[in-house]
Amino acid sequence: MIPATEDAARLPIASGETVLRRLRRIGRRHGAALTGVVALYGVAALAALVPPWMLGRIVDAVRAGAEPGRVDTAAALVVAALVVHAVFTLLSVALSVRFGEGVLAELREGFVRAVLHLPVGTVERAGTGDLVARAGRDIGHLSHTVRESVPVMVVSGVTVAVFLGAIGVLHPALLLAWVPSAALIWFSTRWYVRRAPDGYLRELNTYSDLTQGVTDTVEGARTLEALGRQDRQVARTDERVRRAYLAERYTLWLRCAWYPNLDFAYMFPVAATLLAGGVLYARDALSAGEVATAVFLAVQLSGPLEHLIDEVDSLMQGYTSLRRLLGVELAEEETGPPAAGGGPPGRVEIEGVRFGYTGAEVLHGIDLVLRPGERLAVVGPSGAGKSTLGKLVAGIHAPDAGTIRVGGADMAALPPRARREKVILLSQESHVFRGTVAENLALALDRTEADPALLWKALAAVGAEEWVRALPEGLDTRVGSGNRDLDPAHVQQLALARVVLADPEVLVLDEATSLMDPRSARRLERSLSGVLSGRTVVAVAHRLHTAHGADRIAVVEEGRVVELGTHAELLARGGSYAALWHAWHGDT
């Protein structure tokens, strides 16, 4: 049983400082590339100044009544400048993409590496939902930010700086036209940024409720019809729409208050530049052509400025995602030195073990010793703590009190790899990874490729050889999400074949066959008993015949072992096991 998700069980989120530290590290490592991008684009942006500058020159020339020939030479020069601009743009954009892709790959690979080193107990507690969201949505957001927003911000930022510089060179007083705009942008954006994240979070939640509702409806259409809930689902969808709309209205209001400020800030400098230019022209500080140049510099500046501010939202989103991605690295498992174990392999000693998830204790003192090669069946009602006991034996959780030793080694002190060599837990939850059948099996050997003969042997041992041979490409058939669907019995056989390949001292089976139809379960269990001879097995069983086949049976009720013995002994005792057995067999 999975414990309830509580805040304490959530995966951490990195602090702002951690993110900054990481960004600085990236900056240091790729400093040269970064400077190169900015420098190259700076040169490119200089060339973009040429058309408005030339406009001004020509205006002056025309007013002075110049020769047409001068205009032609100027035009030719400008064309050359534009080509230079294009070449530098090409280089700088290509370089920035290269830099961005590199950083992105580094971050996502770091995330996956951290995920793969998460302690199993942490994953069990936090559930996989949050991690799936981080692996999907957050990597998506970050990719968008790095690929789309960062380059736009760099390009726009450099352009804005170069254009402002050029205006300053024309006449410093012209820059005054931008002062009201700068203040307006600063204050309104600060106002917006403080309110937006909460609003968008709410909006995102209601929106994913809405899309989840659509997914639920289409996937569960058959069930909706069976339960007669069609009209209700329609009403529920409308209610979700209403809630999504309400959430949207809040952020819409925020933007409606923010945008006019921005729009005015982008455009007003055009008028203000004309005014300032006119004043300077009257004082002979600027020519008419230079005024025209200044006005169009202002016009052409509004675009990059708008792009720059537009990316604020995306940048905030990317930052939040980065915090969530880096957060996983904080939960990584420290691997200690492998503890020495000197006992006979396969011997399991459980001593005074107590354990609880959060608050309530589930196991209240368990003592059990399994001799090597013994098969123990654990039966009992749901919630009695059978599965928890299995997880403790496999070292997924460490007991709150008492010890569990396998082959003499304390499970709680072992690093994951050593733990797995001793004990493997196989539960009813199984997963087929996207990839070939062979890749799915080779996982157990922690290799991407493995000797096919070895794999076939493992498949034969679990009775899966026949259907794998019947697959269109045998071991190389692609399975998992988006590929060929395997039926639950086959999935479980693959999981068992992995166990055969991993070859642990002790195997914990937690209702491993319960999701199969009874016939396949029976067949699988038969092949299993052959494979497992000599292995110590703890089988959490819900089918009594599994218990019947075991060397000893432990009945767990309310966190305690209440009956322990062979099938015959327990029947003779006439306790709860005996009562169940008789009910099963229809004798009274």
Partner 1 sequence: MRSLPQPPGEPDSRSADRYLLWLARREWRSLLWASLLLGTYTVGTVLLSASVGAALDAGIGDPRSLLTWFGILTALIAVGTAITPVLHRATCFNWYASAYRTVQVVTRRSVDLGPTLTRRLPSGEVVAVGTEDIDQVAALYEDAVFGAAGIAGTVAAGAFMLTAHTDLGLVVLVAVPLIMLGVVPVLRPLARRQDHQRTRQAELTTRATDLVAGLRVLRGVGGEHAVGERYRAESQYVRAAGVRVGWMDAALSALRELYPGLLLIGIVWYGARLALAGEITVGQLVAFYGYTLNLAAAVRHLMYFTSRYISARVAAGRVVRILGLVHDLPDPDEPAEAPAGLCGLSDPAGGVSAPAGLVTGVVCADPADATATADRLGRYRDGDTLLVDGAGHAVHLRDLPLREVRRRVLVADNTAHLFSGPLREELSPDGGLSEERLAEVVHAAAAEDVVRRSPEGWDAVLTERGREYSGGQQQRLRLARALALDPEILVLVEPASAVDAHSEAAVAERLAAERAGRTTVLLTTSPLLLDRTDRVQFVEGGRVVAEGTHRELLATVPRYAETVLRTAFDEEGP
Task: Name residue, tokens 């937006």.
Answer: 196
- Cα 78 to the center of its chain, rounded Å: 50
Among 58, 285, 315, 471, binds partner 1 (CB under 8 A): 58
Q: Is 351 helix (H, G, I), strand (E, B) or coil?
A: strand
Q: What is the three-state SS of 531-576?
A: HCCCCEEEEECCCHHHHHCCCEEEEEECCEEEEEECHHHHHHHCCH
Query: In 390-403, which positions are buried (b, 16+ CB within 10 angstroms) versus exposed (e)?
Result: bbbbbbbbbbeebe
Q: Which is nearer to partner 1, 184 or 351 (CB)?
A: 184
Segment near partner 1 (CB under 8 A), from 10-18, 87-95, 162-170, 195-203?
A: 87-95
Q: Which is nearer to partner 1, 77 or 369 (CB)?
A: 77
Among 34, 46, 50, 322, binds partner 1 (CB under 8 A): 50
Pairing label, strands 435-436, 478-479: antiparallel
Restricting to residues 442-461, which ones interact with partner 1 according to CB under 8 A? 442-448
CB of residue 352 to partner 1, shortest distance in Å: 25
Restricting to residues 141-200, which ones interact with partner 1 according to CB under 8 A? 143, 147, 155
Is residue 85 within the footprint of partner 1 (CB under 8 A)? yes
Is residue 225 within the footprint of partner 1 (CB under 8 A)? yes
Task: Name residue, tokens 């790729």.
Answer: 30
Segment near partner 1 (CB under 8 A), from 313-321, 451-459, 467-475, 524-532?
A: 524-532
CB of residue 17 to partner 1, shortest distance in Å: 26
Among 16, 228, 342, 534, binds partner 1 (CB under 8 A): 228
Among 104, 161, 312, 578, binds partner 1 (CB under 8 A): 104
Is residue 393 within the footprint of partner 1 (CB under 8 A)? no
Q: Which is nearer to partner 1, 161 or 351 (CB)?
A: 161
Q: Is 355 helix (H, G, I), strand (E, B) or coil?
A: strand
Residue 484 DSSP code: B
Please state, in angstroms and rounded to a whole number, the distance separating the CA atoms of residues 483 and 306.
44
Segment near partner 1 (CB under 8 A), from 110-118, 342-350, 403-411, 453-461?
A: 110-118
Question: Sheet holding 552-557: strands in order across?
Answer: 423-427, 506-510, 536-540, 375-379, 552-557, 560-565
CB of residue 298 to partner 1, shortest distance in Å: 10
Segment near partner 1 (CB under 8 A), from 18-26, 28-36, 437-445, 469-477?
A: 437-445
CA distances from 21 to 16, 25, 104, 157 (A): 9, 6, 16, 23
CB of residue 152 to partner 1, shortest distance in Å: 10
Among 498, 535, 539, 559, binds partner 1 (CB under 8 A): 498
Q: Which is nearer to partner 1, 176 or 267 (CB)?
A: 267
Segment near partner 1 (CB under 8 A), from 52-60, 188-196, 314-322, 347-355?
A: 52-60
Q: Is 354 helix (H, G, I), strand (E, B) or coil?
A: strand
Among 31, 168, 344, 381, binds partner 1 (CB under 8 A): 381
Residue 365 DSSP code: E
* Token duo for residue 217: 């409806």
Burial of 159 (0-12, 13-18, 19+ CB in 10 A): buried
Say if CB 437 and CB 479 are below 8 A apart.
yes
CB of residue 505 to partner 1, shortest distance in Å: 14
CB of residue 541 to partner 1, shortest distance in Å: 8
CB of residue 20 to partner 1, shortest distance in Å: 24
CB of residue 486 to partner 1, shortest distance in Å: 14
Among 18, 189, 206, 217, binds partner 1 (CB under 8 A): 217
Among 21, 25, 35, 79, binds partner 1 (CB under 8 A): 79
Query: Computed from CA positions of residues 398, 404, 405, 406, in that sequence, does the dihedral angle turn out positive or negative?
Result: negative
CB of residue 172 to partner 1, shortest distance in Å: 19
Please state, in angstroms and rounded to a whole number, the distance separating the CA atoms of residues 170 and 176.
13
Among 21, 29, 101, 364, binds partner 1 (CB under 8 A): 101
Segment near partner 1 (CB under 8 A), from 8-16, 192-200, 254-262, 452-460?
A: 254-262
Restricting to residues 309-348, which ones interact with partner 1 according to CB under 8 A? none
Among 194, 472, 519, 534, binds partner 1 (CB under 8 A): 519
Spell out the residues 6+ positions from residue 72 whose beta carbon is closer than 8 angstroms to its own: none
CB of residue 348 to partner 1, shortest distance in Å: 17
Q: Taking the CB of residue 204, how many other CB atoms lie within 10 A of it?
A: 13
Q: What is the three-state SS of 3-30?
A: CCCCHHHCCCCCCHHHHHHHHHHHHHHC
Q: Is 334 helix (H, G, I), strand (E, B) or coil?
A: coil
Q: Number of helices and strands (H, E) in the chain? A: 22, 12
Q: Which is nearer to partner 1, 68 or 172 (CB)?
A: 68
Please state, in angstroms and rounded to a whole number, the distance separating the CA atoms of residues 359 and 357.
6
Is residue 471 within the footprint of partner 1 (CB under 8 A)? no
Please state, in angstroms and rounded to a whole number, the distance separating the CA atoms of residues 267 and 526.
80
Restricting to residues 281-300, which ones interact with partner 1 according to CB under 8 A? 281-282, 288, 291-292, 295-296, 299-300
Q: Which is nearer to partner 1, 120 or 315 (CB)?
A: 120
Is residue 124 within the footprint of partner 1 (CB under 8 A)? yes
Long-range contacts of 223-229 (CB under 8 A, 24+ apart): none
Restricting to residues 125-144, which ones interact with partner 1 according to CB under 8 A? 127-129, 131-132, 134-136, 139-140, 143
Q: Is 404 helix (H, G, I), strand (E, B) or coil?
A: strand
